[in-house]
Amino acid sequence: MRLLWKTHDYLPDIGFDKPDHYFGVPEEERSSRVQLTGDTCIIDNEDFFIRGVIKIPITDEEMYFGIGVWISQKKENFENYQQHPDSAEIGPYFGWLCSDISEFGDTLSLKTEAHFQSGNLRPWIKLHTSDHPLAVAQREGISLARAWEIVHEYLPKD
């Protein structure tokens, strides 16, 4: 399964459990080529990814819709994050978005920044300003109804 969701009191967040690059490694090679945790991924000791959250404001409520995503990192930034995982004193660090959020079009390789937080919180991911639908949604917000439409696309179909 590629997606995770976490239920809150109201609107659930959604999230991707692996960066898209993970699926480019043949399944029989993953155990030797990929190091994956809930927050980091290393492929072939060359490609480095961290997990963070894109927060999208809900325009008709005082809340955010969270999407757990993966972004790439330079090796030195990744290592600094590993050494200081609970620090707001590092970054922000540039990265490419490595999660395909199809409800917003092609989101792979959008430019991002990881803003690190203390308190055992995942980094929040800010998209660079552009006209891409996901960047517009992060900047301007979406309706609660639209957020629920997105959630329903990711819930298991039983």
pLDDT in tens, 36-68: 999 999 999 999 999 999 999 999 888 999 999
Flag whether pLDDT at 132 surpasses 80: yes
Percent share of the chain, pLDDT over 70: 93
What single DSSP character describes residue 97?
B
CA 125-129-132 angle, to 5 degrees, is 90
- Taking residues 117-122, what's their average pLDDT? 90
Residue 8 has pLDDT above 80, yes or no: no
Q: Is the pLDDT at 4 greater than 80, yes or no?
A: no
